[in-house]
Structure 1
């Protein structure tokens, strides 16, 4: 497999009246062709900021201050506006968090998909209409419904339309940013199953951003766990489930109900994510970590490979592995 996306030491800060918010700092991970990676963590950990940084959608007072985002050999952070225009939709696209906000209420859903195709592909209007019908049918919607307006669809169907739009120009990489938020549990399961089926069928590379650990572990090959703007662990799903290295990863698993072991006690994580304004150089999880020691209060652990393919940022693992 070839590497589709490689992120190296990505940092994105926001300038505020109270100081610099270090929303994302030194994040590093990669995504292979046809692979689905789950990017998880509590709200406020920087998951969506990572996605927006990849897509170059960070606006003032935010700024990507360092790092590389390599998509199929091209550094998106150095790309010109014209290059970005040609890469978005065709090479990389996004399924937004809220289809309600992503769809224009005064245009039919078909017109909105057709517009994206015509702007980025050299095809005729009739070909774009035909492709739109095929895309809607691919996500489980009658192709004739392309003449309908967004308000004529349920929440789940709107989300399916948003998925169809993301696939309009056959991208190699799709970022799904909390795309099931606000949907009922049954519809969530249907949408996630649809994304997984399309990923396999089209050999897509997918970054699935979520705080839903059970859902992510069920469908993703790899998992990257973020805490307070930092990547604290990155490995295969099997490794994360069976051999988590970081105390935060272990805490997330302990705080998640397990249907295969319903008698296991669910333990909540005490405290909350720290304020990221002018945060001192330390382990950001130390105030909630039962294993913290003096070094954790004075230094920030770097992400390192502790076993083949398994990366974590924890001094405990560093001490164990020399």
Structure 2
């Protein structure tokens, strides 16, 4: 299983009235072929900015200031905008946070999917319509509903249409950005189960961005934990659940109810994510960490391999003790 996407030392900053916000700083991770990677953290930790940076959708006052992004070995941060327009949908596609905003209310859902196919595939409109019906069937919607307008669908069905659109040009990588936010719990479960089923059947690579740790641990192969613009821990789901190392990862797990362990005491994380305009000098989690050392306020720990394929950025983790 080879690496499909490799993100290396990615940094994205934004100019604000208060100064430069270091929204993403020196982020590195990779996604293998046919793998689902969960990117998780509280709101404001930089997850969506990472996705937009990969897709080259950062606009002024934001800017990718350093780093590299390789898709199947090709450096896409250096690609021209014309080349990126070809890559989007065809190589990488997105399931947006709100299907309501992603779908144009004045066009049928079929016309919107057909348009995406015709823009990127050398096919006739008849062939694109056939593909559209197949996609709708694939996500559990009657193919004949291609003539329907977005307002004729429920929230869950709109999200299924958004998934169908993301699959329209048979991409290698899909980024799902909080794509079940706003849906009821039952519909969320159905959408996530559908996405996992399609990922397995089509051997897709998926980056699943979320703040919902139980959902991510249930379906992802590996998980990267983000805090205040940085990756603080990165491991297989099994490793993270059994041997979480970073205090923030442990705090997220402790803040999550465990239905398999009714004795598990749920505890909240005190404080809030620091401003990224003036982030702390040392570890960005130090002010909320009960285990913080004096060193944590002076030095920023590096993300290091503490066990095979298990990385953590903590002075207590074994990799930063030198």
TM-score norm. by structure 1 comes to 0.99
Q: State the Cα RMSD in Å.
A: 0.9
After TM superposition, the structure 1 stretch with the greater mean CA deviation from structure 2, 28-37 or 311-320, is: 311-320
Question: Any residues of structure 2 matched to 1:50-89 within 5 Å, and which?
Answer: 50-89=50-89
* 1:281 to partner: Cα distance: 2.6
1:83 deviates by 1.1
- CA-to-aligned-CA distance 1:85-129 (integer Å, 9 cap, x gap): 111111100000000000000000000000000000000000000
Aligned equivalent of 1:268: 268
Per the alignment, residue 286 of structure 2 pairs with 286
Give the SS at the match of 1:316: coil
Aligned in 2, Cα 1:319/1:158: closer, same or farther, shift over 3 Å?
Answer: closer
Normalising by structure 2, we get a TM-score of: 0.99
Q: Which residue of 2 aligns with 1:5?
A: 5
- C-alpha displacement of 1:320: 7.6
Offset of residue 318 of structure 1: 3.6
What is the 5 A alignment of 1:141-290?
A: 141-290=141-290
**CA contact under 8 A between 1:306 and 1:321: conserved in structure 2?**
no
Within 2, Cα distance between the matches of 1:267 and 1:279? 25
Indicate how the Cα distance of structure 1 residues 285 and 9 shifts in structure 2: closer, same or farther if over 3 A, else same.
same
Cα distance in 2 between the residues matched to 1:151 and 1:277? 41
Q: Deviations over 1:156-184 (max 9, x none)?
A: 00000000000000000000000000000
Partner of 2:48: 48
CA deviation profile, 1:132-159 (whole Å, cap 9, x unmatched): 0000000000000000000000000000
SS at match of 2:20: strand
Paired with 1:211 and 1:13, the residues of 2 have a C-alpha distance of 22
* Cα separation, partners in 2 of 1:248 and 1:280, compared to 1, 3 Å: closer
- Structure 1 regions of 5+ residues with no counterpart? none
Give the superposition deviation at 1:227.
Answer: 0.3
CA distance in 2, matches of 1:12, 1:320: 25
Structure 1 residue 206, shift from structure 2 partner: 0.2
The alpha-carbon deviation at position 47 of structure 1 amounts to: 0.4
Unpaired runs of 5+ in structure 2?
A: none
Q: CA deviation at 1:297?
A: 0.4
After superposing the two structures, state which structure 1 stretch, 279-288 or 155-164, moved more.
Answer: 279-288
Is the contact between residue 306 and residue 319 of structure 2 (CA under 8 Å) also seen in structure 1? no
User: Distance between the aligned counterparts of 1:248 and 1:79, measured in 2?
Assistant: 36
Aligned residues: 322
Q: Deviations over 1:177-204 (max 9, x none)?
A: 0000000000000000000000000000
Q: CA deviation at 1:263?
A: 2.1
Task: Judge conservation of contact 1:281–1:299 (CA < 8 Å) in 2.
Answer: yes
Q: Does the 8 A contact of 2:13 with 2:62 survive in 1?
A: yes
